[in-house]
Amino acid sequence: MPPASAPTCPFCDLIQGAGEVSMCYEDADVVAFMDVQPVNAGHVLVVPREHFAGLDDIPHSLAMHLFEVAMELAPVAKQVAHSDGMNVVVNSGAAAGQDVFHYHVHVIPRRAGDGFDIPLPFAGSEMPDRTVLDVHAARIIAAFRDPVASRKRTERRTGERRTGDPE
């Protein structure tokens, strides 16, 4: 029996020229093109040329470059779309609403009453007691200060890994 083929990535296919795309930005590492299911006119996707599934996979410097490109495109998309506001959004993981598992940043021009919503604060949540918030903050601080986790974050940010270190 032949081995199962790896699932294809629609963004990789577009980047490699295997489909129609309305490109609005390109550099050596990043492309930006119009979303084919836009929230509003001017909805742009900023995508790394190299495949990374999500926020946990993409190198820090490349993720920062994607946001730099998004920040450059946002006011232009807003102006061209004659919109009143802007969302810059990353959905990373199925639970967060990611449906194409190639990391990307949405640049979405917004208009009052356009029907799209990212409801924050979330109506289904209750304001927790301050002690609960303090406990979560303390856990984040402790995890952030953990030397092993800190080294891994530095490696991710710089792309360097010390030889002999376990993963």
Residues 92 and 69 in one domain: yes
Q: Domain containing 126: what range?
A: 120-167
- pTM exceeds 0.85 for this model: no
Dump pLDDT digits (tens) for 9-66.
999 999 999 999 999 999 999 999 999 999 999 999 999 999 999 999 999 999 999 9
Confidence band (pLDDT; 50, 70, 90) for 146?
A: confident
Residues 18 and 97 in one domain: yes
According to the model, what pLDDT value does residue 164 have?
Answer: 52
72, part of any domain: yes
- Catalytic residue flag (residue 43): no
Dump pLDDT digits (tens) for 64-119.
999 999 999 999 999 999 999 999 999 999 999 999 999 999 999 999 999 998 88
Q: Write out the two tokens for 59.
A: 């190198």
Using the Cα atoms of residue 115, residue 118, residue 124 and residue 126 in order, give the sign of their dihedral: negative
**Residue 88 is part of a domain; what is its CATH number?**
3.30.428.10
By the 8 A CB rule, do 25 and 15 touch? no
115, part of any domain: no
Q: Write out the two tokens for 34.
A: 């119009």
**3-class DSSP state of 26:** strand
Among 43, 65, 102, 104, the active-site one is 104
